Amino acid sequence: MSDEAQLPRYPIPRGVHPPLLSPAYESTRLRAPREPLRLLPQELTEITGPLLGEGRVGPLDHDLTRQHEGEPQGQRIIVTGRVLDEGGRAIPDTLVEVWQANAAGRYAHAVDQHAAPLDPNFTGAGRCLTDAEGRYRFVTIRPGAYPWRNHPNAWRPAHIHFSLFGRAFAQRLVTQVYFPDDPLLGRDPMYMSIPDPAARRRLLCHWSLDITEPDWALGYEWDIVLRGPASTPRHPPDRR
Ligand SMILES: [Fe+2]
C-alpha cells in the first residue's frame, strides 16, 4: 500500500453538518477558511489506526462518578447508545470519548473562570470501547448550563461532548449530545447552526425507563450514525 493511499470518499449529506462559517456563532468568523479546501493525501497510519488492544481502556474509564474518593455533586445519569454505520450495522471496538462541565456548569480547566464551583470529585472526562453490538455506556452526572461570551447573556444548553473514531484516525466524529426540552436549545448558535431541523434533533438524547436504574440513576439513550443521510451532525469541537 502506498503512503498516499486514500480512504474511500462518501457523499456528504445536505443540511446535516453545520457550515464552517456560521456568523451567529462568533468564533467561526475567525476560523472559517476563506479559500476552498484542499484534501491532503492520508498517511498510512491515519488509515490503518487506531489499534486499541485490550487493556488500554480501563474498566472504570466509562464511569465519571468513580474517578475520585467521593462522588460528584449532581443528578447521576446513564448515557448509552449504539454506534452505527450508514446501513445500521454496529461498529464494535470503537473508541468513544466524552468531556463535560460539572453539575454547576463549570469545566475542570484553567481557562474556565465561570463563577460556579468546581467539584473536587468530578474531572468530567471518560472513555470506553463499543461492544460487539456497537454499544457504548457512560455513567456520569447531568452537566449544568453555562454562560459564554458569544453574545449578550449567552448560555450554552446542557451538553456532553463526544469524540468517536470509526475504523481509522481519519474517520473521527466530534459532536455534542443535548437533553430534550432544554429551553436554551433554540437560542444556541452552535445547535442552531445545523441547517436541517431533523438533523439537529438527532443530537438530542431521550429519556428511557429501560435504561433508568431503580434507586440509582436516570437513563438516556442516544445512537450515533457515522455517515449517510441519517448521520449524526458534526459539532464544534471547542471546549465550550
Ligand atoms: Fe461544552
- pLDDT tens for the 240 residues of the chain, in order: 455 556 666 677 888 888 889 999 998 998 999 998 887 887 888 778 777 666 788 889 999 999 999 999 999 999 999 999 888 999 998 999 999 999 999 999 999 989 999 999 999 999 999 999 999 999 999 999 999 999 999 999 999 999 998 777 777 889 999 999 899 999 999 999 999 999 999 999 999 999 999 999 999 999 999 888 899 998 765 545
Model pLDDT for residues 138-186, shown as the tens digit of each residue: 999 999 999 999 999 999 999 999 999 877 777 788 999 999 989 999 9
Question: For residue 203, is it within any domain?
Answer: yes
List the catalytic residue out of 156, 202, 227, 240.
156
Q: Can you tell me whether residue 198 is helix, strand or coil?
A: helix
- Close Cβ partners of 11 (under 8 Å, ≥ 6 residues apart): none
Sort 231 into a burial class: Cβ within 10 Å, 0-12 / 13-18 / 19+.
Answer: buried
Question: Residue 201 region, left (φ>0) first, then alpha (ψ -120 to 50), else beta?
Answer: alpha
- Number of domains, the chain: 1
Task: Supply the CATH number for residue 112's domain.
Answer: 2.60.130.10
Q: Can you tell me whether residue 73 is helix, strand or coil?
A: coil
How many separate helices (H) and strands (E) can be counted in the chain? Answer: 4, 11
Q: Known catalytic residue: 107?
A: yes
CA distance linking residue 173 with residue 224, whole number of Å: 10
Question: For residue 30, is it within any domain?
Answer: yes
Domain that includes residue 177, residue range: 26-226
Given a contact cutoff of 8 angstroms between Cβ atoms, the answer to whether 74 and 217 are in contact is no
List the catalytic residue out of 25, 107, 178, 191.
107
CA angle 173, 143, 235 (to 5 degrees): 25
DSSP alpha helix (H) spans, the chain:
28-31, 44-48, 189-192, 197-201
Question: For residue 6, is it within any domain?
Answer: no
Q: How far is CA 232 from CA 105, 228, 238, in A?
A: 25, 9, 17
Q: Known catalytic residue: 151?
A: no
CA of 235 to the centre of ligand 1 (A): 11
Question: For residue 11, is it within any domain?
Answer: no
Q: How far is CA 5 from CA 44, 122, 147, in A?
A: 7, 42, 44
List the catalytic residue out of 161, 200, 235, 240.
161
Q: Known catalytic residue: 146?
A: yes
Residues with CB under 5 A from ligand 1 (ion): 240
Question: For residue 12, is it within any domain?
Answer: no
Given a contact cutoff of 8 angstroms between Cβ atoms, the answer to whether 226 and 83 are in contact is yes
Question: For residue 156, is it within any domain?
Answer: yes
Question: For residue 2, is it within any domain?
Answer: no
Q: Known catalytic residue: 114?
A: no
Name the β-bridge partners of 218: 77
Q: Known catalytic residue: 10?
A: no
CA of 3 to the centre of ligand 1 (A): 36
CA of 145 to the centre of ligand 1 (A): 9
Question: For residue 176, is it within any domain?
Answer: yes
List the grid coordinates of 195: 441547517
